[in-house]
Amino acid sequence: MVFMNIVNGIPVSNGCRKGRLFIIPDRNETEISKNSIKPSEIEPQWNLFLNAVQQVKNDLQSMSDSDNPDEKKIFESYKMMLEDQVFIDEIKKEFTSRLLNISYIVLTKYRKSAEMLIAANNDYLKQRADDICDVYGRVVQILNGSEKHNFDNIPQNAVVFAKNLQPTDAVALEKKQPLAVILQEGGPNSHFAILIRNYGIPAVFGLSAFPKSAAMNDEVIVDGAKGIVILDPDKTTLEEYSKKEQQELSQSRRLSALKKQPAKTKDGFVVSLFANISSPEEAQTALKQGADGIGLFRTEFLFIKENRLLTEEEQFLAYKSVLQTMKDKPVTIRTLDIGADKIIENADYKGLDEENPLLGWRGIRFCLDNKELFITQLRALYRASVYGKLKIMFPMITSCDEVEIILKLVKTVKASLKKEGLPFTEDVPLGVMIETPSAAIVSDFLAKKCSFFSIGTNDLTQYSLSVDRDNSKVSSLYAETHPAVLRLINTTVKNAKKRRIPVSVCGEFASRPEGLMLLAGMGIDQLSMSCAMIPAAKDILSRYTATELEQIAKKALRTNTALKINEELKRKLDK
């Protein structure tokens, strides 16, 4: 008798699907023998390496869909890896000095680089390690005469299982239109995960306990929202998920229709929904999802992607691109928020690797201590301002003193641009992020010096509750609905309204149903979130009147525990 087996994993991409299992055989990473070579073999083997690099570039170009911003961004970064002259020179130096076969040198070199990145214990750097293994693994396979996974034999509409897959595999896999993807390894922030979500394919990763007894064509259910996989489901479970699948498809069609509709409550109260982005390419995605503008452009990821400091011209072109894409829609660009978990590994600026980085040299503190870097970014921003509706936002503010220094530097930048005859918009709105308790408490003073506020709920919660949300021992204490956090948000909103300046929220709380209800109920009519969350946010807002949301927020502000607040919100959402 076969029994139903439920396996828990990591939710990566929402959606419920049932189908037949297709197992991609585990392909052990190519092992290359170590062989000595003669000096006369150096040039021919080096040419083989250069040809392999060029072939990978050509392959990436042919598989990339230029209309897909996520694919384009990932494969452009792969191309830059293949053109990284420093890395290539390191390979050549080791190759010519050790006189070992080029395939072995490349394999050991990229593995060593990946291991160093993984050891940093940083999600972004771990992602870069996966990318290096993917792109240079392809080079080694060409040198070794071996092949990547062959997806030709995967049937259409299968539930695909593998130990692990890479971003380039996602592009090939998508053409087979899988019902779902499940991986034994991997996490939700990898480039493979980003592409799978972009394609709308339900996915669960991290299934370390996936049974070895699972076989081809086994019946399976994948619940991407819950992060579970059900093998050999019984009749009752199959019926339950059949209903869920139909409801989901109906919901998907309904949400898709909302992309072009304005976000508003049942009684017509309009809420502007903006997008959070980390690259110029994502602006196109924001438009497709129906964003009213960009509420947060995280410029530090431009620097992290290149792993270096960008020139004024490079920054200017990036900011100009986003503003031109968004046309008459507002674009809020945050100045460099480096530090804490966001590090430029090989930057000229040392000292970012601190014992307590969350309370250290980050955000505006770093920029004000490195004024030349800060002025370069301000110049690039002001030069780009003539191409759209720019707003500039400063992170990690704790006092009016910091704002005073910023305003003086802005004045200096404007004067220098005028002197050089470079055009810029004179009255670009300047705002601050309210993401520290001190900023929220003195928001009445800050409101007199700024054009707008943007509340960063992620850090505001973390600092208010003294909880590191990435620390598994205390992460359960991290609650954006904690009364202290809600009171700080409410104080900020009241002080902004007194000075008649707009206030928005750009933390993750703004994209969740409970956050939408509370924030809109407090009178915040500008919310910024991940692009993909915008249609669902419109749906949530349309279920309530402005008065109902206001009552929900007032009740929450009178409640003394996050648990009670969450229970009340759940009751409202379940109605």
At position 41, the amino acid (one-letter code) is E
Burial of 384 (0-12, 13-18, 19+ CB in 10 A): buried
Q: Which residues pair with 183 in a beta bridge?
A: 162
Which amino acid belongs to residue 56?
Answer: V
The interaxial angle of helices 42-63 and 69-82, nearest 10 deg, is 170
Are residues 188 and 165 in contact, defined by beta-carbon separation less than 8 angstroms? Answer: no
Specify whether the backbone of 64 is left (phi greater than 0), alpha (psi in -120 to 50) or beta.
Answer: beta
Q: Which of 191, 367, 450, 482 is catalytic?
A: 191
- The CA-based diameter of the chain, rounded to the nearest angstrom, is 83
Task: Provide the sign of the torsion angle of the four alpha carbons 237, 239, 242, 243, taken in this order.
Answer: negative
Instruction: State the first-to-last Cα distance of the chain, in angstroms, to the nearest integer.
Output: 41
Q: How many CB atoms are located within 10 Å of the residue 256 CB?
A: 12
CA dihedral 197, 117, 119, 112 (to 10 degrees): 120
User: Using CA atoms, how far apart are residues 265 and 226, in angstroms rounded to an integer?
Assistant: 28
Rounded CA separation 233/134 (Å): 35
Nearest to 294 by CA among 315, 265, 324, 314: 324
Q: How far apart are CA 556 and CA 110, in angstroms?
A: 52
159 phi, psi to nearest 5 deg: -95, 110
Check the CA dihedral 352-353-358-360 and report its sign: negative
Both tokens of 284, joined, read: 């196109």
Distance CA 288, CA 114 (A): 35
Please give the C-alpha separations between residue 249 and each of 203, 216, 229, 291, in angstroms, as whole numbers.
16, 26, 19, 22
Q: Catalytic: 149?
A: no
DSSP 132-197: HHHHHHHHHHHHHT------TTPPTT-EEEES---HHHHHHHHTT--SEEEESS--TTSHHHHHHH
Structure tokens at 66: 């230029």
Q: Can 506 be counted among the known catalytic residues?
A: yes
Catalytic residue among 133, 367, 506, 531: 506
Where in the sequence numbering do the catalytic residues fall? 191, 506
